[in-house]
Amino acid sequence: MKKERLNIYLDPALRAAIRDLAGSDGYSSQVAEELLRLGLGLKKGETIEQQSLPVIRDLLQHELRKSLSQLRTELREDMQLEILNEMKAVTRRSDDRLASLIVRAIREGGLSRRMVYALLARDDAQFALHVYDDARVKVGKDLAARAGNEQA
């Protein structure tokens, strides 16, 4: 490869350092060329670094935001699933409790009806049947009136 001459002015201390590096061989041109290559590579690296760092930073920030968003979404879904499961369990317990109370009320009502009917039927069976029918009609009217008030 053909070489060209470059006339440059150097600080005397820099020139002495190049000659010291060249040593007794005296190839200071080769040492200077090598130092220039290293310096140019360093300069180009700084330029590339200055140009690429903002792009790399933007890419990293974008990926971090994306990952954080995905993590939030997954966390939200997990929390909703857990809350939904807890609500189902609470609702199930509440429904079971309500069903057991309804069954108990029906059982107690049935027992009370039979006991009152048996007590009244001891003296007069016809009177007991009349009281039972009258009570059934009045309770039906009372329930119908309450249902009408709740719908209004």
Q: Residue 74's pLDDT is what?
A: 94
Residue in this structure with the two tokens 């200055």, named with its chain if needed: 50
**Number of alpha carbons in the 13 Å side-chain half-sphere of residue 65:** 6
* Terminal alpha carbon distance of the chain: 104
| 45, two tokens | 């690296």
User: How far apart are alpha carbons 76 and 64 in whole angstroms?
Assistant: 18
Q: Residue 152's pLDDT is what?
A: 61
**pLDDT string in tens for the chain (152-residue length):** 787 777 788 888 888 888 888 877 768 888 888 888 888 877 777 767 777 778 888 899 999 999 999 999 999 999 999 999 999 999 999 999 999 999 999 899 888 888 888 888 888 888 888 888 888 888 888 878 877 777 76
Q: Residue 36's pLDDT is what?
A: 84
**Helix, strand, or coil (residue 27):** coil
